[in-house]
Amino acid sequence: MTALPARMRVIEMDGTGGPEVLRPGERPLPQPRDDEVLIRVACAGVNGPDLMQRRGLYPPPPGASDLLGLEVAGEVVSCGAAVRRWTPGDSVCALTNGGGYAEYVAVHAGHCLAPPPGLGVDESASLPEAFFTVWSNIFMGAGLRAGETLLIHGGAGGLGTAAIQLGRAFGARIAATDTPAARLELCRQLGAERTIDYACEDFVEILRSEFGGADVVLDIVGGTNVQRNLKVARHDGRIVQLAFGRGSKVEVDLMPVMLKRLHYMGSTLRSRSDEFKTQVARELEARVWPLFAQRQLRATISDRLALADAGDAHRLMERGGHAGKIVLTP
């Protein structure tokens, strides 16, 4: 095997702020711990938490890399002493605690999966963050069941595209909000039974009249959506808050929580234990990854940019015009 370099190219942050704080840099090659593998990164996904960390709103957990990047795909090049499943040369995609915006990244071996059959390396890199998040929150946490109605806010984004497909594959009825028309069309193509243009339509009235409300709500918006989610939820409904794009400080009437026996829950995946994330990985491997080969699921990529253009990728994501995931290639 070719000798590994002592140093690698990375994207660093020059303080916190806008996309302009992202700049190319160089770091020593990470050394994998006993339970980690070192991956040569072929592609890295761009996600909302990356933007939050860049703004100084989402610091990495203790012991994690300060570099951005929560998902990658590539080749295992070395393994820690306790790693048994993976060997150098294996192709993997992986959820990371940070460090994906680089040529190499060390990742817990339990958070790696073999790429789904038939997917390219860029497509594989676009999966872990969204699919780990949706599976752990909507299925393991909220317990979405076949026949229930799932309302997804921001259906054409990374989380939304994963949630639409998973919900449909496991028998739920799907409604998705987004705007403009091109993003709503992607939601329809992925399996949303009803799409709602939030710029000109009322999702509360539509869900109540056409579905009788929602059993599970996935929200990344916050703001005025918080109260409206309580209104649209059915009795015994579950509301999953995964981000607050329009603010987390709101005045809200909590009476519906009591009257309708609602469950309001939130989560940040990055701070969960290694054991929990390993459990999620194994459930995805057993129950979700086979659905790609059966063509029930697909990766949705909007744009591919060079790692050096990470700032442009963040600008593109902040403008909100993309549909699907954005990936970077070192």
Q: Which of 290, 2, 301, 282 is nearest to 157 (CA)?
A: 301
Could you give all domains of the chain from N- to C-terminal order, each with its CATH number? Answer: 7-127+270-329 (3.90.180.10), 131-267 (3.40.50.720)
Amino acid at 102: A
Give the β-pairing of 149-153 and 91-95.
unpaired
Q: How far apart are CA 301 and CA 45, in angstroms?
A: 10
pLDDT for res 1: 58
Q: Which residue in 156, 176, 193 sits closest to 320, CA to CA? A: 156
The pLDDT tens digits along the chain (330 residues) read 578 999 999 999 999 999 999 999 999 999 999 999 999 999 999 999 999 999 999 999 999 999 999 999 999 999 999 999 999 999 999 999 999 999 999 999 999 999 999 999 999 999 999 999 999 999 999 999 999 999 999 999 999 999 999 999 999 999 999 999 999 999 999 999 999 999 999 999 999 999 999 999 999 999 999 999 999 999 999 999 999 989 999 999 999 999 999 999 998 999 999 999 999 999 999 999 999 999 999 999 999 999 999 999 999 999 987 889 999 998
CB-based burial of residue 7 (10 Å sphere; 0-12 exposed, 13-18 middle, 19+ buried)?
exposed
pLDDT, residue 257, reads 97
Burial class (CB in 10 A: 0-12, 13-18, 19+), 14: exposed
Residues present in the chain in total: 330
What is the distance between the alpha carbons of residues 158 and 325, in angstroms, rounded to a whole number?
Answer: 5
Q: How many other CB atoms are there within 10 angstroms of residue 117's CB atom?
A: 9
The Cα–Cα gap between 142 and 145 comes to 9
Question: Cis bond leading into 180, ω under 30°?
Answer: yes
Can you tell me whether residue 272 is helix, strand or coil?
A: coil
Residue 36 burial by CB count (10 A; 0-12/13-18/19+): exposed, middle or buried?
buried
CA–CA dist 243, 49 (Å, integer): 9
| pLDDT in the model for residue 330 | 84
CA distance 146 to 149: 9
* Assessment of whether the complete model's pTM goes beyond 0.75: yes
